C-alpha cells in the first residue's frame, strides 16, 4: 500500500473525526499534510503550521495525492472538487447536496481527468452502501432501495414514540446532542434524505435524477393528533426514502410513513440509519449503522481514502449495463392527510378516498394521490396540513396510473368537501 498525502478542506465535526480515525488506524499509510480553513484566527487543537486559508496552496501542491472536501457550502465544495480533479488530484467528499446536484457532471469529469471522486461518507454515514451497490450488486437487477437515511429525524421520532416526548422537545434534545443543526430545515423537511436518495438512484438503477425532481415531505408538520392516530393503529412513524423499479420505470420519494411493528425498519432507532435492498436474486438485504456523527462519518471518509491507495474508482456499472430507465412521478400512493380546515386542502387532487374523519380538533382523509401532485401542490406547505404514507402503500400502486379526469370520483369528492365545510362551520 502506497503512502497517501492528504489535503483537507474543512476541520469541523467530520474533519476532526477523520483526523482521529486516521491517526488511530493501524492499517493505513497516510497523513494529512495541510488543512484549509476559513477562519485563521480560530483556536485549533492542532499545530498552526498545518492550517492555511489559501486553497491553491493545497490544490497545486505536487506532493498532495488526495483532496478531501468536508465543508458545508455546496457551491464552494463543487469549485474545490472541480479544480482538484482538473489539477490531477483524486477527491473524497462527504457533501451530499453538492454530489446529488452535480453527479452527472462529476462522473464526466472523472472520465475526462482519469482521477477518481469517491463519496461514501455522503450517504448514510458508516454504512458502506455505495460500494456495496457498485461491487456486490453491480450486475443484479434491483427492485427496491428504501430506508431511514437521516439520523436526526430518526432520533426525534424515536423519542416521540418510545418516550412520549412532544416533537419540539425531541428536536431540542437532538440539537443539544449535535444530531440536528440549530436550523434543522434540511433534516426535518426531508431534503437531506432526498439528496442521499438521488445519489443512490445512480448506483442502484443507473439513472441520474436531480433532487428537485424527487418529492420530499418532512416530519415538521406532525401533530399530536397524528401521533395518537398512529399509536391507535399500532404504528410508528419513520421518515423513509424509497425508490422502486416497476415495469422498467423507476419511482422515488421521501416521506414520513406509518410502519408496523413487524416491519424491518420499525426497530431502527435513535441516530441509526438503515438501508434495505431488494433484488431479483438476493431477496431483501438490510444494512444498519450510525448515520451521523464525527467518528462514523470520518471512518467512511477514511475508507474512501484507503480505497484510492488501490486506485479504486466507482465504475457506475448499472448506468452502463442497464441502459437509461425512465424516472417517473406518475403513480399513486395511498396517504393519510390531516388538516384543520377543509379550505386548506383540495380533495379533487385525490384519485379516490378510502376513509375520512371530521371533527373540530382533528380531521383527516385517507386516499390515493399521484406522486406528481405531491410535488406541485402548495397546500402541502401549510403547517396545518400533514401527509403520511399508509403502511400498505409502500408497495407502490403502480398498476394504477394517475388519471386527472375520473369524473364520477371527483364529483363524489366535491360533495364530500361540501359536507366537510358544513360540519366544520
Is 212:327 a contact under the CB 8 Å cutoff?
Answer: no
Question: What string of pLDDT tens digits covers the 425 residues of the chain?
Answer: 568 999 999 999 899 999 999 988 888 888 999 999 998 888 888 999 999 999 999 999 999 999 999 999 999 999 999 999 999 999 999 999 999 999 999 999 999 999 999 999 999 988 999 999 999 998 888 999 999 999 999 999 999 999 999 999 999 998 888 788 888 999 999 999 999 999 999 999 999 999 999 999 999 999 999 999 999 999 999 999 999 999 889 999 999 999 999 999 999 999 999 999 999 888 899 999 987 778 889 999 999 999 998 899 999 999 887 667 899 999 999 999 999 888 888 889 999 999 999 887 789 999 999 999 998 888 988 999 999 999 865 555 544 567 643 444 445 444 545 544 544 44
d(CA 47, CA 208): 42
pLDDT at 177: 85
Question: Counting beta carbons within 10 angstroms of the beta carbon of residue 285, is it exposed (0 to 12), middle (13 to 18) or buried (19 or more)?
Answer: middle
Q: How much is the pLDDT for 169? A: 94
Catalytic member of 89, 189, 196, 334: 196
**Cβ-contact 204, 136 below 8 angstroms:** no
Q: How far apart are CA 386 and CA 150, in angstroms?
A: 19
**Cα(152)–Cα(149) distance, integer angstroms:** 9
Rounded to an integer, what distance in angstroms lies between the CA atom of residue 271 and that of residue 373? 31
For 241-258, b where at least 16 C-beta lie within 10 A, e where not — what string? bbbbbbeeebbbbbbbbb
Which among 365, 349, 358, 363 has a CA at the least distance from the CA of 410?
349
3-state secondary structure the chain: CCCEEEEEECCCHHHHHHHHHHHCCCCCCEEEEEEECCCCCCCCCCCHHHEECCHHHHHCCCCCCEEEECCCCHHHHHHHHHHHHHCCCEEEECCHHHHHHHHHHHHHHHHHHCCCEECHHHCCCCCCHHHHHHHHCCCCCEEEEEEECCHHHHHHHHHHHHCCCCHHHHHHHHHHCCCCCCCCHHHHCCHHHHHHHHHHHHHHHCCCCCHHHCEECCCCCCCHHHHHHHHHHCEEEEEEEEEEEECCEEEEEEEEEEEECCCCCCCCCCCEEEEEEEECCCEEEEEEEECCCHHHHHHHHHHHHHHHCCCCCCCCHHHHHHCCCCECCCCEEEEEEEECCHHHCCHHHEEEEEEEECCCCCEEEEEEEEHHHHHHCHHHHCCCCEEEECHHHCCCECCCCCCCCCHHHHHHHHHHHHHHHHHHC
Domain spans of the chain?
Answer: 4-122, 129-290+314-322, 332-424
Q: Which residues contact 216 (CB under 8 A, 6 or more apart)?
A: 189, 190, 191, 193, 194, 253, 254, 255
In angstroms, the CA 340 to CA 233 distance is 21
Measured between alpha carbons, how far is 22 from 299 in angstroms, rounded to an integer?
8
Q: For 129-290+314-322, CATH number?
A: 3.30.360.10
Class of domain 4-122: alpha beta
pLDDT at 293: 75
Which residue, among 313, 121, 109, 322, has the nearest Cα to 207 in the 3D structure?
322
Decide if 196 is catalytic: yes
Tell me whether strands 332-339 and 386-389 are parallel, antiparallel or unpaired.
Answer: antiparallel
Give Cα separations from 131 to 115, 173, 184, 316, 417 (angstroms).
Answer: 17, 33, 29, 10, 50
Amino acid 410: pLDDT: 45
> For residue 336, what are the β-bridge partners?
366, 388
How far apart are the C-alpha atoms of 363 and 377, rounded to whole Å?
19
The pLDDT assigned to 396 comes to 53
Count CB-CB contacts under 10 A for residue 158. 20
pLDDT at 27: 81
Amino acid at each position: 500500500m502506497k503512502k497517501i498525502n492528504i489535503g483537507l478542506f474543512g476541520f469541523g465535526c467530520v474533519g476532526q473525526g477523520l483526523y482521529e480515525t486516521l491517526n488511530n488506524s493501524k492499517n493505513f499509510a497516510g497523513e494529512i499534510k495541510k488543512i484549509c480553513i476559513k477562519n485563521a484566527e480560530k483556536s485549533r487543537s492542532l499545530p498552526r503550521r498545518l492550517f492555511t486559508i489559501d486553497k491553491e496552496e493545497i490544490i497545486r501542491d505536487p506532493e498532495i495525492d488526495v483532496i478531501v472536501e468536508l465543508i458545508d457550502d455546496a457551491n464552494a465544495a463543487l469549485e474545490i472538487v472541480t479544480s482538484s480533479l482538473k489539477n490531477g488530484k483524486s477527491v473524497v467528499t462527504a457533501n451530499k447536496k453538492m454530489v446529488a446536484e452535480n453527479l452527472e457532471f462529476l462522473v464526466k469529469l472523472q472520465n475526462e481527468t482519469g482521477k477518481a471522486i469517491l463519496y461514501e461518507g455522503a450517504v448514510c454515514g458508516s454504512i458502506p452502501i455505495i460500494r456495496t451497490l457498485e461491487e456486490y450488486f453491480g450486475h443484479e437487477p434491483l427492485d427496491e432501495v428504501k430506508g431511514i437515511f437521516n439520523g436526526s429525524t430518526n432520533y426525534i421520532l424515536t423519542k416521540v414514540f418510545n418516550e412520549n416526548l412532544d416533537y419540539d422537545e425531541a428536536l431540542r434534545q437532538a440539537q443539544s446532542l449535535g444530531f440536528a443543526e440549530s436550523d434543522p430545515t434540511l433534516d426535518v423537511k426531508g431534503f437531506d434524505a432526498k439528496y442521499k436518495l438521488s445519489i443512490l438512484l445512480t448506483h442502484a438503477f443507473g439513472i441520474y435524477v436531480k433532487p428537485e425532481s424527487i418529492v420530499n415531505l418532512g416530519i415538521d408538520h406532525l401533530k399530536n393528533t397524528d401521533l395518537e392516530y398512529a399509536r391507535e393503529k399500532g404504528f410508528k412513524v419513520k421518515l423513509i426514502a424509497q425508490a422502486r423499479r416497476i415495469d422498467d420505470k423507476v419511482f422515488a420519494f421521501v416521506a414520513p410513513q406509518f410502519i408496523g411493528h413487524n416491519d424491518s425498519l420499525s426497530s431502527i432507532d435513535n441516530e441509526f440509519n438503515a438501508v434495505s435492498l431488494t433484488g431479483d436474486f438476493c431477496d431483501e438485504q438490510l444494512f444498519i449503522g450510525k448515520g451521523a456523527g464525527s467518528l462514523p462519518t470520518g471512518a467512511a471518509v477514511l475508507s474512501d481514502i484507503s480505497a484510492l491507495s488501490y486506485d479504486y474508482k466507482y465504475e457506475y456499472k448499472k448506468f452502463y449495463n442497464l441502459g437509461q430507465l425512465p424516472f417517473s412521478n406518475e403513480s399513486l400512493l395511498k396517504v393519510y392527510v390531516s388538516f384543520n380546515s377543509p379550505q386548506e386542502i383540495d380533495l379533487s387532487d385525490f384519485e379516490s378516498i378510502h376513509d375520512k374523519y371530521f371533527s373540530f380538533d382533528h380531521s383527516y382523509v385517507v386516499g390515493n394521490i399521484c406522486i406528481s401532485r405531491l410535488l406541485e401542490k402548495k397546500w402541502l406547505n401549510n403547517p396545518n396540513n400533514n401527509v403520511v404514507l399508509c403502511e400498505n402503500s409502500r408497495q407502490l400502486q403502480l398498476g394504477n396510473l394517475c388519471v386527472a379526469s375520473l369524473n364520477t370520483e371527483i364529483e363524489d369528492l366535491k360533495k364530500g368537501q361540501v359536507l366537510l365545510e358544513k360540519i366544520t362551520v
